[in-house]
Chain A
Amino acid sequence: MNAPQDLAAGLEFDRAYTLGSFVEAIDRKRLAHALETLLGPEFVLEDEHGVPLIAGSAPRGALPAVPLMHELEPIGRLSAACSPSELAAAAALMQILIAAAARDRMTAELHLNATQDSYRALAEKHAALEASEARYRDLANQLEQRVKEQVRVIENAQRQLFQAEKMASVGQLAAGMAHEINNPIGFIQSNLRTARDYAAQLRSVSGPVKEGRAKEAAALWERHDLDFVLDDFSALIDESVSGAQRIARIVADLKAFSSIDTTGDVVDLNETLRIVVRLAQTQTAKHALIALELDALPALKGDAGKLNQVMLSLIQNADQAVTEGGAICVRGRVQGDWVRLEVEDNGCGIPASVLPRVFDPFFTTRAVGQGTGLGLTVSRDIVAAHGGHMEIESRVDHGTKVIVLLPVARA
């Protein structure tokens, strides 16, 4: 009825067998010899179509015959010239032989069917496993590729964020600096305008003086109060010079801070700490007083600009923590093979629950837009890149101390 998919290749074990196929399995000579002994030389074993399979040494036609049955149907016949009882007995023996042969054949073929089927199932499973292995290998390769890409994306984003954090603190610094520079520029401009008027007044006396009109000159001198003008002129110039010096120093500090001029990689912490504190002092939001306590610190190998960024960021944090007129202390000490830098404030402190997380990226307690949450993360990374580490101690309402430990490079 239905095509047997599993056994399509082989033959069914339960198909209709022929007598010939059974006799094949038996030793023909021995069977012929046995039959001849039983039936005499005149016998024939034929299949259902009358084709002789085994015959005696002197067969002849038209002999008494007995059908041989298999599965209810005749599959051949045995004929011989012997007595009917002998023929029946021989046929019965043949039936037993046929049953045994059928059993043998069917079992063997079924076993073959089953084995082929098992083998085919195994081969299929094997192929499926190979396919799935290939798929996984593919996936693993892709995964590696994807992880690499993701790492690249993350690294990129991180670099951008770190840059953003740097820009944020630089921006804050720039705003303070603009104010600091604007002040002297304002009074220098005003002084220069006054100086221009003073110059015009002085020039008005020059004609009478050169032409010897002493009286007129004296009257003009008196009228313009040129004694005061001359005094004030030099005062203006002195003031402007000191203003310009102030600007020059701020610019010099800024340059030093950003290490534009650094050549080589040796950092003089004494100098840079002074600059950072000086810059920070100009822009404290709460007018906190920043004290600087410095031992003579050894030179370090490192990136001055980055270390400045760390210290400025820590001072800015302290400034945000203190109340109006609070105190910030920056210390630099030598401690064995380490330089220990501290930024301590007497501000609000950090709750113990928050303390373990302050170095986590993007962790911030400030309002959205007020901080990136990366200040301490970036600082820690910079310090780590210098072979150092950071610690933080804090008590709520008492203040916070951030400690930066940097290794002293040994010669």
Chain B
Amino acid sequence: MAELDTARQSLTLKIVYYGPALSGKTTNLQRLHDLLSPELKGDMMTLDTRNDRTLFFDLVPLGFRAPSGLLLKFKLFTVPGQVAHDATRKAVLSRADGVVFVADSQRNQGVNNGEAFDNLARNAQQVGLDFERLPLVVQYNKRDLPDIFGEDEVLERWDRAPWPVTFATASAGAGVRETYELLLQRLYARADEQFALQAEHGVGIDRFVSLACATEGLA
């Protein structure tokens, strides 16, 4: 999306949490909403969940104002993970600036993870995103559960992939912020290239990440 609204002096960046059903995308957003206290934080919009299943999307708006006065707005979305909602997933993914792929660490979810990732690649291509260049972080969630893929195993599997892998237990808030931070770091370069964040708005990568990820204590 990366929409620069010159009239409102705001730049909106769209971040999408993607992944198989029940892998913890909504939980990631809820915890981020709890944990982060950037300058601006809107209410979390959670839409029509049925038995903990997202039907449409969740949305958390976060933001801060650059020294230049530009409002940097981050809109964090989740997609519905269930296979049947592919059209909705595509619509939400459309015009994303960055993606967090939330995988389920449980061994019996390996196939679902793989299918969801293929689905992401295919849908990204279908909505006109350059998947090779799309800022993406892979998060292995639910590290607290038994019978999960070991970290070495996961890292080895993703060794040749160009995307960083993080580990999280979103239900306890662990690794959620780190994943988000990592994505922001990867996302910055393209945003800076396009909107001269450093040159025109005085926002370098460190400021960008720390302001976007500010917590209560740091704010």
A interface, CB within 8 angstroms of B: 1-7, 12-14, 16, 48, 69, 71-73, 99, 102-103, 106-107, 110-111, 113-115, 117-118, 121
In the assembled complex, the Cα of A312 lies from the Cα of B41 at a distance in Å of: 107
Using CB atoms, name the residue of chain B closest to A5. Answer: B128
The residue that A115 contacts in the complex, of B14, B47, B87, with Cβ under 8 A, is: B87
Q: Mark B1-28, 1 if CB is under 8 A from A, else 0.
A: 1110100101010100000000000000
Chain A residues in 8 Å Cβ range of B40: 72
Q: Mark B59-99, 1 if CB is under 8 A from A, else 0.
A: 10111000000010101010000000101101110110100
Chain B residues in 8 Å Cβ range of A7: 91, 94, 127
Is the pair B87, A13 in contact by a Cβ cutoff of 8 Å?
A: no
Using CB atoms, name the residue of chain B closest to A74. Answer: B8
In the assembled complex, the Cα of A7 lies from the Cα of B127 at a distance in Å of: 8
Q: How far is the CB of A28 from chain B (nearest CB, A)?
A: 24
Chain A residues in 8 Å Cβ range of B85: 114
Is the pair A12, B73 in contact by a Cβ cutoff of 8 Å?
A: no
Using CB atoms, name the residue of chain B closest to A49. Answer: B7
Is the pair A6, B91 in contact by a Cβ cutoff of 8 Å?
A: yes
A12-B94, A72-B73, A99-B43 known; A110-B5 Cβ under 8 A: no
Given A4-B128, A71-B61, A121-B87, 13 further pairs, Cβ under 8 A: A1-B1, A2-B95, A5-B127, A6-B127, A7-B94, A7-B127, A16-B3, A16-B8, A48-B8, A71-B42, A72-B40, A107-B48, A114-B88
The residue that B10 contacts in the complex, of A13, A73, A114, with Cβ under 8 A, is: A73
Please count the residue pairs between chain A and chain B whose beta carbons lie under 8 angstroms apart in the complex: 93
Q: How far is the CB of A47 from chain B (nearest CB, A)?
A: 12
Q: How far is the CB of B132 from chain A (nearest CB, A)?
A: 13
Chain A CB within 8 A of B51 CB: no
Chain A residues in 8 Å Cβ range of B63: 72
Chain A CB within 8 A of B126 CB: yes
Chain A residues in 8 Å Cβ range of B41: 72
Using CB atoms, name the residue of chain B closest to A4. Answer: B94
Using CB atoms, name the residue of chain B closest to A121. Answer: B87
Chain A residues in 8 Å Cβ range of B214: none
Chain B residues in 8 Å Cβ range of A4: 94-95, 127-128
Secondary structure call for the B interface: mixed
Is the pair A113, B91 in contact by a Cβ cutoff of 8 Å?
A: yes
In the assembled complex, the Cα of A360 lies from the Cα of B94 at a distance in Å of: 68
In the assembled complex, the Cα of A224 lies from the Cα of B63 at a distance in Å of: 150
Q: How far is the CB of B188 from chain A (nearest CB, A)?
A: 15
Chain A CB within 8 A of B35 CB: no
Q: How far is the CB of A114 from chain B (nearest CB, A)?
A: 4
* Interface core residue of A12, A69, A71, A72 (most chain B CB under 10 Å): A72
In the assembled complex, the Cα of A121 lies from the Cα of B127 at a distance in Å of: 13
Chain A residues in 8 Å Cβ range of B97: 1
Question: 29 interchain pairs (CB within 8 A)?
Answer: A1-B1, A4-B95, A4-B128, A5-B126, A6-B90, A6-B94, A12-B94, A14-B1, A14-B59, A14-B92, A16-B3, A16-B5, A16-B8, A48-B8, A71-B73, A71-B75, A72-B61, A72-B62, A73-B8, A73-B10, A99-B43, A99-B45, A103-B45, A106-B56, A110-B92, A114-B85, A114-B88, A117-B87, A117-B91
Chain B residues in 8 Å Cβ range of A102: 45
In the assembled complex, the Cα of A317 lies from the Cα of B2 at a distance in Å of: 93
Chain A CB within 8 A of B129 CB: yes
The residue that B128 contacts in the complex, of A2, A12, A110, with Cβ under 8 A, is: A2
Is the pair A72, B42 in contact by a Cβ cutoff of 8 Å?
A: yes
Using CB atoms, name the residue of chain A closest to B46. Answer: A103
Q: How far is the CB of A11 from chain B (nearest CB, A)?
A: 11
In the assembled complex, the Cα of A114 lies from the Cα of B85 at a distance in Å of: 9
Q: How far is the CB of B82 from chain A (nearest CB, A)?
A: 13
Lowest 8 CB-CB distances: which A-B pairs, in order? A114-B87, A113-B91, A2-B128, A72-B40, A71-B61, A114-B88, A118-B87, A4-B94
Is the pair B61, A1 in contact by a Cβ cutoff of 8 Å?
A: no
Chain B residues in 8 Å Cβ range of A69: 42
Is the pair A110, B56 in contact by a Cβ cutoff of 8 Å?
A: yes
